[in-house]
Chains A and B, each alone.
Chain A
Amino acid sequence: MDWERDYIGAATKASSAAPPPCTAASSSSDDNDDAAAKRGKKRGSYNCGHCGLPKKGHSCHVGSSHSPAPDSSSAAATSSTLPVSAAAASSALAASASTVTVMPSALSSAARPPQSPPPLLPHHPISHLRCALSFDDLDVRADEEEEDIDEVEPDLDERDRDFVDGDADAGGLPARCLWEVLRRLPPAELLAVARVYKGWRETSRRVWWAAEDLKLRVPSRAQLYFVGSVLNKCPELVRLSLWMESDVDATMLACIAFSCPNLESVEISTSSNAVNRITGDELGRFVADKRCLTCLKMEGCSNLGGLVLSSSSLSTLWLSDLNSLSKMVFNCPNLREISLEFSRNGNDCTDLIATVDGLGRSCPILQNIHIASVRLSHAVVLALTASNLRGLRMLSLVLGSEITDASVAAIASSFSDLELLDLSGSSISDSGIGMICNVFPETLLRLLLALCPNISSSGIQFAIAQLPLLELVECGMTVCDSNDESLISDEAINHGMEKRPNSNLHLIHQKLIIKHSKLKKLSLWGCSGLDALYLNCPELNDLNLNAYKNLLTDRLLIQCPSLENVYASGCQELLIEVIQNQVNNNSFPMENHLPFKRLADGSKRVRVPHFLCQQQFDVYKKQRRRPPCNVLAE
């Protein structure tokens, strides 16, 4: 492992201020020395390998507290294997996900799933403000990832054939079957089994070689050496996702760039106590050097400073926690999806107008734009609409209280094919909604207008009635009496959403009548100005009524037979009961698909069509059984 020694040597020289990387908590000091030597520290190891303090006169407690328990987390990864299909939800990453998805690398590229067209932005920016409405199942990408990990039989070439037919002694499993077993292990276990038996080591090595998808949690003590070792095992890696609990800087990027030449997708998420020190220059260099990088997602980008990204391959870019960038230039002609979330503590001074202007110029095929910043204003919208982004399908400009109806007019006149429009946190009013309904009835699928204080229930009603293709409507905390302290969620306050004065007294005691044939998700959380709600939506799956305080129990009617989840936390007990009664009585009988004839004695006989066998008839029975609706109230 010569390269490692040199490389790690360079790293430790560079970050001389940082404590030396810690190795495994093996108790014998001999191992520490060996490991330290291996790490390329030229001097003797004067520092304890566990905690970095000088060894002399030091007794280390770190090792003992982290002694490996069989089912507790190891440094490499937690031992729970999350089904990799839960990849999309960022919460899945947080919940201890470290998995290795193995796709046999021997497959030709034709067998690889085609580049997916950029779907919806999976997690919405103010998802903390929107309590329970989750868009995860609307995320096409999640589904496609599920297909990615469909197991495909590997094509074994000549040398592999020897491997397969070889010795089947170990545990009685031929290598091919062992491969199937080992590929289902999480990374930590995969490394552990390498020690069991030679054949297992060989097989586990092959599993690593074939890995294309890797999700890794990097704990706070493990450093570059750790990530480097893992990445070194999977040279074919295509998608890498790191959940950093330790600080991350450019040496991590260099490590990634070095180890994984074929990398197409990089995602770096940071926990709350990890600091992302990557600067704009370093990121720019990384992106420019990686010729096949198509997707880059990074959190905690508060140290970027200034950013110039040039890449002809990049098509998806998500950056969050941005703060005061001196400039942001994206020379990415293939960029399809961009998401920029700026920090919300009010001291961000990025010039959004210049940024958006540049976006319009250099990324002509943008389809999805998402910008979250309190400094969004009408001028920014004008800069956006002045550009020639004819392909725009999803536009999300949130938290901009200076976005007005005039902005909506500009959007409506420039982009005629929007499928998603999100202006949450803006100052648009019912006339803005009117403009939206004039222009987008044939294309708009998702409308999000949470925290817009100038919208009334009649505006919402109008929108839903006029937009026949709508599948998702989010109107959290729009129709509410903003003088009611208890309504403003803590998160809203934390994120700098000040209580905006609501001058419209008529926004209380409102009612909402919604009848829509396609609506699937409706969110009305915190709408305390509503006291009557009538819903008749045959396709509605999700209904969010969190913090729905003032709803009178006798003015609630829900006629939605497909309802699967109702979120009602923060509602009064009585209301929850009423909701439960209503949704559980909604089991309308399914139409009888089978023809029947009336006999002479007046009885009805159902006739089973003769082409149906027993099994197909059972399918009808399955359809009739719908799962009961969950009413979730914490």
Chain B
Amino acid sequence: MSSSSSSSSSPPCPKKMITLKSSDGETFEIEEIAALQSKTLENMIDENCASTPIPLPNVKGKILAKVVEFCTKHAEAGADAETLRAWDAEFVGVEHAIVFDYILAANFLEIPTLLDLACESVAEMIKGKTPDEIRKFFNINNAFSPEEEEDVRRQNQWAFE
């Protein structure tokens, strides 16, 4: 690297920033390089629609902030795989409702890495739980009639050996 006294012969790469606007009106700035992880944003950048703040009506501010954090972290070149994995694990180590929001955001913005990470973590949450526990965990009302439930249970009886 050039020493501090001499001027660097290369001008620092200008970091192009993109502005995103969440459903509740908050704005967030994200580097273009990080934004390229989202196919939706990538398309917009390609078509030169990215100069004004991009409205994202499906994503709340709280979630969008985290998504920006995720993309920025994953766009960093210096991180090695293990620290990134640890960071990812921490990222999804939150309440499942928030992880659901990540899934929705990743689905909408088409961010495959985030979608993968969030879906895997929900899958992990599901594994090992009985249907009742799953329902309780995810707050789902049982919409099966007793006959239907019996039918499904019998069909899959061998799975519960």
Contacts and interface: CB of A to CB of B under 8 A. Distances in A.
Interface of A: 1, 23-26, 31, 34-35, 38, 66, 68, 70-71, 74-76, 79, 81, 151, 169-174, 176-177, 180-182, 184-189, 191-199, 201, 221-222, 225-226, 229, 605-616, 618-619, 621-622, 625
B140 A197 contact: yes
B8 to A, nearest CB: 7
Interface of B: 1-3, 6, 8-13, 33, 77-78, 80, 97, 100, 103-104, 107, 112, 115-116, 119-120, 122-123, 126-131, 134-135, 138-140, 142-144, 148-149, 152-161
Contacts of A34: 154
B134 A605 contact: no
B102 to A, nearest CB: 10
A193 B12 contact: no
Given A79-B127, A185-B123, A191 B140 contact: no
B126 A35 contact: no
Contact of A172 (B100, B119, B159): B100
A221 B2 contact: no
B119 A180 contact: yes
Nearest to A195: B131
A69 to B, nearest CB: 9
A54 to B, nearest CB: 21
Given A81-B123, A181-B126, A201-B152, 5 more contacts: A35-B154, A170-B143, A187-B159, A189-B128, A226-B158
A191 B156 contact: yes
A225 B156 CA distance: 11
B77 A192 contact: no
Contacts of A229: 155, 158
Contacts of B131: 192-193, 195-196
A38 B154 contact: yes
Contact of A605 (B3, B128, B160): B3
Contact of B33 (A176, A184, A615, A619): A615
B103 A24 contact: no
B138 A608 contact: no
23 contacts: A23-B157, A35-B154, A70-B130, A75-B161, A76-B158, A151-B112, A176-B107, A182-B123, A185-B123, A189-B127, A192-B129, A193-B126, A193-B134, A194-B152, A195-B153, A196-B138, A197-B140, A605-B6, A608-B1, A610-B9, A611-B10, A614-B12, A622-B77
A285 B9 CA distance: 74
B10 A198 contact: no
B140 A68 contact: no
Nearest to B148: A198
A264 to B, nearest CB: 26
A176 B112 CA distance: 14
B103 A173 contact: yes
B143 A195 contact: no
Nearest to A625: B80
A177 B156 contact: no
B23 to A, nearest CB: 16
Given A151-B116, A189-B126, A180 B138 contact: no
Contacts of A71: 127-128
B134 A196 contact: yes
B143 A181 contact: no
Residue of B10, B120, B148, B159 contacting most chain A CB atoms (<10 Å):
B159
Contacts of A612: 10
A606 B1 contact: yes
A618 B78 contact: yes
A621 B78 contact: yes
A1 B128 CA distance: 28
A200 to B, nearest CB: 8
Contacts of A609: 10
Contacts of A187: 159
A186 B104 contact: no
B78 A177 contact: no
B127 A171 contact: no
Contacts of B128: 70-71, 79, 189
B98 to A, nearest CB: 11
A608 B8 contact: yes
A192 B161 CA distance: 12
A605 B131 CA distance: 66
Contacts of A197: 135, 140, 142-144
Contacts of A192: 129-131, 134, 156, 159-160
A196 B158 contact: no
B140 A171 contact: yes
Contacts of B9: 607-608, 610
A184 B140 contact: no
Nearest to A221: B161
Given A185-B123, A605-B2, A180 B103 contact: yes
Given A79-B127, A189-B126, A608 B10 contact: yes
Nearest to A611: B10
B11 to A, nearest CB: 8
Contacts of A181: 103, 119, 122-123, 126
A170 B120 CA distance: 18
A504 B112 CA distance: 62
Contacts of A222: 158, 161
Contacts of A81: 123, 127
A606 B65 CA distance: 39
A198 B145 CA distance: 10
B161 A194 contact: no
A68 B158 CA distance: 11
B126 A185 contact: yes
A541 to B, nearest CB: 18
A607 B9 CA distance: 7
Given A151-B112, A170-B140, A196-B131, A188 B10 contact: no
A75 B144 contact: no
Residue of B115, B120, B155 contacting most chain A CB atoms (<10 Å):
B155
A184 B120 contact: yes
B120 A610 contact: no
A34 B154 CA distance: 8
Nearest to B78: A618
B140 A196 contact: yes
Nearest to B33: A615
B83 to A, nearest CB: 13
Given A173-B103, A180-B107, A196-B134, A70 B129 contact: yes
Which 5 residue pairs are nearest across A and B when measured between Cβ atoms?
A75-B161, A613-B13, A171-B138, A618-B77, A195-B131
Nearest to A627: B80
B1 A184 contact: no
Nearest to A68: B160
Nearest to A188: B159
B107 A177 contact: yes
A606 B3 CA distance: 9
A165 to B, nearest CB: 13
Contacts of B155: 1, 229
Nearest to A201: B152
Nearest to A70: B128
